[in-house]
Structure 1
Amino acid sequence: MNRPIRFLLLLLILASCSKPVKTNFYMPAEWEPHDAVWLGWEEAHLTYHPVVFKMIGALMPHVQVKISANSDSLLRVAKRILSEQSIDTTRIKFYVHPSDRYWIRDHGAAYLVNSKGELGVADFSWNSYGFPYWLQEKFDNNMDSVKKYFNPERTKKLGQVDSLMAVAEHATRLSTWVVHEGGAIEVNGQGTLILCEATVFDRNPGKSKEALEPEFKRVLGVENIIWMKKGLADDPKHFFRRIVDNYVGGGTGGHTDEFVRFANPHTIMLAWVEEREKDLNPINKMNYERMSENLKILEAARDLDGEPFNIVKVPLPDLAARKIVARVNVDDSPTTLDVRLRSFKPSEAPHAGDTLLRVPASSYMNYLVTNGVVLLPTYTATGSSREKEERVRKIFEEQFPGREIIFIDALPLNWSGGGMHCSTQQQPAVGKH
């Protein structure tokens, strides 16, 4: 074979290999069958453990539990601690991935399925919740300070976890340049995705909806995107933020799993502050205004058939603000909620000795639904209305009929800006969608 013909054949082979393969992968809705639910294990945050024990105990009768940790030695610690709680670790599958974070939904795999019964993973890019941009904002673009506090190697390792989870489950990986976290993905399994502008644009500065939407549609297998404006006020971007007045907190900056969730393909649940509660405190007022704007968007939204969605308002728990003190140095005891002055950006920083009101990212919307059960946070122990929580129970019983509703006090997670949904990741059952 002469050289020109050989060269043409090579070009044809390369061209055929470069064509995108039509996979038909999509993300199923969370209420569809699961093969497993994943959790991370983070040694440093022992205050999480009582919540984790209850979650695992509630999940094990219904679904395979999988736990990912940063090393073999840490997994041995996890097995020992779980065994001390009478949890049968032989029924849990353990994995080692380069992750020193508990919140596996955000940096871990977003699992997909296709019509062939194959498993896929949407491999989004990762930048630690826009941390470099937050540091630039905090230090007024002083790049020396940004380099001092930003660890690109750790971020790179965390960004590999979703692809390693794909390898562990022999899943096809659909990678994208879009930076996004799992707690900000909400789908109905029938072509519609809900996103929040506040987080998407923060993680992808300079990118437009026109540039972002095709990638979300490609890797998640959706055709229709509904854009919320802002998330809850008590879920501000990063730690620590002065939210309003003396109220401070930290979080993701607007993850959807804090305030808007599909209950079924045609029903959307929205976190809500009632009219009579909106003036009880500044946080309530901010949430009332934000959710009212989001409600208008949802009321105007349509599904793929052009039909409107049924909107269900889910009450937010009563605000669980706790008085704390701003200090130059804070004891690293896991029980303290006091804050360091240097954790704030200068324009929001309190003075040493100031009394502040720290708020957790508390919401009934940060629930997990899996086979036969819904894990739902409870807030009556911290003073929230029992009557309100009973209304929430009835809403969830109506929206998830036939599933057991299990209330778990997840406040230790809320103080760190997340909840039970943030700290888990469902793995869909292939061939059952």
Structure 2
Amino acid sequence: MIEQIVLHGGHVTILAQDDQDKADTLTRLSKTLKSPLEAQQHTRVLVVPHNDIWMRDVGPIFLVKGDTKKTLSFDWTYWGYKGHTNSSDSEIDGAICTSSSELLGLECTPINLASEGGDREYNGLGTLIVCEAVELQRNKSKSKQQIEDCLKEAFNVKKVIWMKEGVLEDQQSFVGKITDDVYTCCATGGHVDEFVRFVDQKKVLLAYIIPEEQDDPIASKSHQALEENMKILESETDQDGSPLQIIRMPMPPTTIIEINPSDGIYSAMQEYIFQDNSIIDGH
């Protein structure tokens, strides 16, 4: 992926865990790209300790106004997971924004709001889509209006459109089984990037469940949520009061996998989700 980005003139910033990891990364880049000089010109490696790969959610948000560039840092709650919000892992990832901003020489403005990149979808002209189930769960001490006001100020947007809920397969795992003996696997609770996206300034892609899948117990609940979100989008407008163009995109069929104690995610499910350290039937 990095090779393709560089090939098309792009630049890549990579986070390394420590100096040794940085050195190893630079060596790999020099071998992968056409020359060490190309690697130096198009890539940079910052030493910023981190636990998670989802920079979309936990990484800095870059703002540009004229010649001024800065970053925003939101509160990090590890997607609102029980027992993990104030852990050492959460503290490390919560510092990614300030650490990387400092290394880049950018001012980092803290925002008194827990919000993740995966739950924010913009049209680039002043309209933002978020999910109520996510934003309210992360910020229980704030009202919906307070959250909206904070988002408008932080991102200089005029309009916030609130989806109600996400798809069922993105339900937070600690909520419990979604059907029979099926749990979600470290899901977010309803990030909008799972089901609704702007494709241009007025067009929105919204997922839907095809009729053949609507009898599936998981897909049927996602169907209800998506159709409710459809009604919301149909009644909403963009920042200028113009209606949105909504294009429906089919969701793939539900996929269920079995995990075992030898799988890395198994221990994470036990430690962070099932606080009694038991997973039903050992799977």
* Counterparts of 1:182 and 1:101, CA distance in 2: 14
1:143-202 residue CA offsets vs partner (Å, 9 max, x unmatched) = xxxxxx665444233222212333344434332111111211211111111111111111
User: Structure 1 residues 271, 263: CA separation in 2 closer, same or farther (over 3 Å shift)?
Assistant: same
Work out which of the residue numbers 113, 123, 126 in structure 1 matches 2:76.
126
1:303 aligns with 2:238: yes
1:222-264 residue CA offsets vs partner (Å, 9 max, x unmatched) = 1100001111211121469522222222211111111111111
How big is the shift at 1:221? 0.8
Q: State the structure with more CA Rg.
A: 1
SS in 2 for 1:270: strand
Structure 2 residue aligned with 1:65: 12
Work out which of the residue numbers 141, 149, 160 in structure 1 matches 2:95.
160
Contact 1:186/1:261 (8 A) holds in 2? yes
Contact 1:108/1:162 (8 A) holds in 2? yes
Structure 2: gaps (5+ residues) = none
Structure 2 residue aligned with 1:285: 220
User: Structure 1 residues 78, 241: CA separation in 2 closer, same or farther (over 3 Å shift)?
Assistant: farther
Structure 1: gaps (5+ residues) = 1-54, 136-148, 355-433
Over the residues paired in the alignment, what is the CA RMSD in angstroms? 2.8
1:174 aligns with 2:109: yes
AA in 2 matched with 1:276: E
1:331 aligns with 2:282: no
AA in 1 matched with 2:7: P
Structure 2 residue aligned with 1:109: 60
Structure 2 residue aligned with 1:351: 280
- The structure showing larger relative contact order (alpha-carbon pairs under 8 Å, at least 6 residues apart) is 1
Higher normalized helix content (fraction of residues): 2
1:267 aligns with 2:184: no
1:183-332 paired onto structure 2 within 5 Å:
183-238=118-173, 241-250=176-185, 251-279=187-215, 281-324=216-259, 330-332=261-263
Comparing 95-104 with 257-266, greater Cα deviation is found at 95-104
Contact 1:240/1:343 (8 A) holds in 2? no
User: Structure 1 residues 351, 123: CA separation in 2 closer, same or farther (over 3 Å shift)?
Assistant: closer
SS in 1 for 2:171: coil
* Counterparts of 1:96 and 1:342, CA distance in 2: 28
1:323-358 residue CA offsets vs partner (Å, 9 max, x unmatched) = 445xxxx125x5x879866665479x653346xxxx
Contact 2:172/2:184 (8 A) holds in 1? no
* Counterparts of 1:173 and 1:340, CA distance in 2: 33
How big is the shift at 1:92? 2.1
TM-score, reference length from structure 2: 0.85
SS in 2 for 1:190: coil
User: Structure 1 residues 317, 264: CA separation in 2 closer, same or farther (over 3 Å shift)?
Assistant: same
Contact 1:69/1:97 (8 A) holds in 2? yes
User: Structure 1 residues 179, 338: CA separation in 2 closer, same or farther (over 3 Å shift)?
Assistant: closer
Structure 2 residue aligned with 1:14: none
How big is the shift at 1:295? 0.7
* Counterparts of 2:267 and 2:75, CA distance in 1: 33
How big is the shift at 1:299? 0.8
How big is the shift at 1:60? 2.6
Identity among equivalent pairs (%): 31
Comparing 151-160 with 201-210, greater Cα deviation is found at 151-160
How big is the shift at 1:300? 0.7
* Counterparts of 1:155 and 1:191, CA distance in 2: 31
* Counterparts of 2:279 and 2:95, CA distance in 1: 37
Contact 1:125/1:159 (8 A) holds in 2? yes
AA in 2 matched with 1:230: E
User: Structure 1 residues 211, 151: CA separation in 2 closer, same or farther (over 3 Å shift)?
Assistant: closer
* Counterparts of 1:339 and 1:154, CA distance in 2: 12
